[in-house]
A and B are shown apart, each in its own frame.
Chain A
Amino acid sequence: MESGIKQVDYWRWSESRWTNPEISDWKGGLVTAGIDIGSTSTQAVIFVDGKMYAYSSIRTGSNSPDSALNAVKWAMDGTGMTQDDLNFTVGTGYGRVNVPFADKTITEISCHARGANYLYGPTVRTILDMGGQDCKAIHCDEKGSVTAFMMNDKCAAGTGRGMEVIANLLSVHVEDIGDMSFQIDEEPPPVSSICVIFAKSEATNLMRRGWSKEKVLAAYCHAMAFRVVKLLEREGVEEDFAITGGIAKNKGVVKRIESLLGIKALEANFDTQLAGAVGGAIFAKEFFEKAARKREGK
């Protein structure tokens, strides 16, 4: 059993960065940034004149202000851009108060809705965001304004952290869970315990009974989907439906949520963990323009 202090990195997602090849010159444009400091990963997104220009996604270190700075520096890597070129920066996420160079902080709920509206289009009405330490259901209108939300951050079941505990137990990389969970002959019943700690004992028990890792993962993904669907049912699911956050990359959970709801989630052709930071960058542009109008006396 792990001591909790020495952790194997089975559960970490890889870090990444990207620059938009379609924008050749950012100079002279309105440069805004959104920084989303989550419990496990931090994203920095840079917009130029309302278009995504660059982003980075890194692990959140023990020091949030450093993570914010590192993320923004890496996003700017090779672009010639420096922090001084940022016209307006919005901090969001669990560690939002720790973005030292932010001009404003906005809750992750508002940012997520706005970001999903940009990334998936204005038809998105329900967003399920599964982060490292929480799970949120957000409802929004066609402008990306929040109409309802609910969140669970008390219990690790239904969060990325819960999945990590199981990944660690089985020594499986979190990125492989999705595929592995479908390498089974038939879908097993979900793990019955809600509590991650009890689910862990249950999983150990199932392994002793001869279940394959794949089958145990299927049962756990199934249980997680079950739990998340319960949260969603408080307000119902209005289409279009999108899933964001780290777990959105885990097909094992996503496909099972879809089959429980009988609804297909929108396909993403970008990193779904970016939604919050994208929303932040869009808010940053709006705030900058609002302030500029004020300065001009109208």
Chain B
Amino acid sequence: MITVGIDSGSQSTKAVVIRDGEIIGKSKTLTEFDATKAAREAYESALKDAGVDEKEVAAISATGAGRLLAEIASSVVNEVSAAARGTHAAVPETELLIDIGAETCRAIRIQEDGGIRNYEINDKCASGAGTFIESMARTLEITTEEMGPASLRHTKDLPMNAQCVVFAESEVISLIHRQEKIEDIAYGVHVGIANRISSLVRRVGITDNITMTGGPARNEGLVDCLSKELGRPVRAAEDPEYVTAYGAALYAAEAATKQ
């Protein structure tokens, strides 16, 4: 059976096509200002990637902030359940999931059977979300992708005081004026955000087997800082931004089987 999961995020929309639990196609597109259109686009190009026809799709499930706008979906699932489901399938030993999106940060404790034990979300402040790193990259005039490698090359500890994105932009500018190196500033940025993420994580309880998902999990500098902050190794899931959409696709398969 073929099913599709669509994760409609505030910044990008991801679609994953699965056949009997295995990923056979995926696609990502910018959400911009039309989540409905983005869902449709991501869906179509994921099908193309998988090489399957629309008629073969048994069910489509949508998740993410814009899930209700994804009109092509036959069902919806909340992002915490989808993220946990996808992670449990992709990295079964995960006990603690840290899922970071452009505008959210979630810490989810997962039970052995894949069920959710407890979770915490911050979606009200950008200081612990992906946007924070993007803003700082823009201020440093480098790409978001360059932030991680730059941070890993740091040579000194450069503490940042500002936590708010708006204030941190000004602080980064003054650090640039002070001739501080981009690598050290990038590291300071990651230490700061890792500290804020870990305060959320502490509220659900720190365990072993920590997995990170969401686009920022591709940032090795952030993963490194987070591991240090939590005192445990943190592993980034493979194709981290697709894990939640994968979880939604698994839900779609389950729903279709029940019918």
Contacts and interface: CB of A to CB of B under 8 A. Distances in A.
B258 interface: no
B126 A4 contact: no
B36 interface: no
A205 interface: yes
A161 B141 CA distance: 22
A197 B166 contact: yes
A78 to B, nearest CB: 34
A40 B100 CA distance: 33
A133 interface: yes
A134 B140 CA distance: 25
Contacts of B139: 3-5
Nearest to B177: A62
B55 interface: no
Contacts of B125: 155, 194-195
Given A156-B167, A161-B166, A195 B173 contact: no
Interface string A1-19: 1011100000000000000
Contact of A3 (B124, B127, B141): B141
B209 interface: no
A4 B33 contact: no
A274 interface: no
Interface size class of A (residues with CB under 8 A): 20 to 34
A197 B141 contact: no
Contact of B165 (A1, A3, A133, A197): A197
Interface string B159-189: 0000111110110111011000000000000
B165 A205 contact: no
A154 B168 CA distance: 10
B164 A155 contact: yes
A196 interface: yes
Where chain B touches its partner, the secondary structure class is helix
A183 interface: no
B138 A3 contact: yes
A161 B168 CA distance: 12
A201 B135 CA distance: 13
B125 to A, nearest CB: 5
Contacts of B169: 4
Residue among A133, A155, A208 with the most chain B CB within 10 A? A155
A161 B138 contact: no
A62 B170 CA distance: 11
A198 B103 contact: yes
Contact of A195 (B33, B126, B167, B174): B126
A246 interface: no
Given A4-B173, A198-B126, A154 B10 contact: no
Interface of B: 10, 33, 103, 124-127, 131, 135, 138-139, 141, 163-167, 169-170, 172-174, 176-177
Interface of A: 1, 3-5, 62, 133, 154-156, 161-162, 165, 193-198, 201, 205, 208
6 contacts: A4-B139, A4-B172, A155-B125, A155-B164, A156-B166, A197-B166
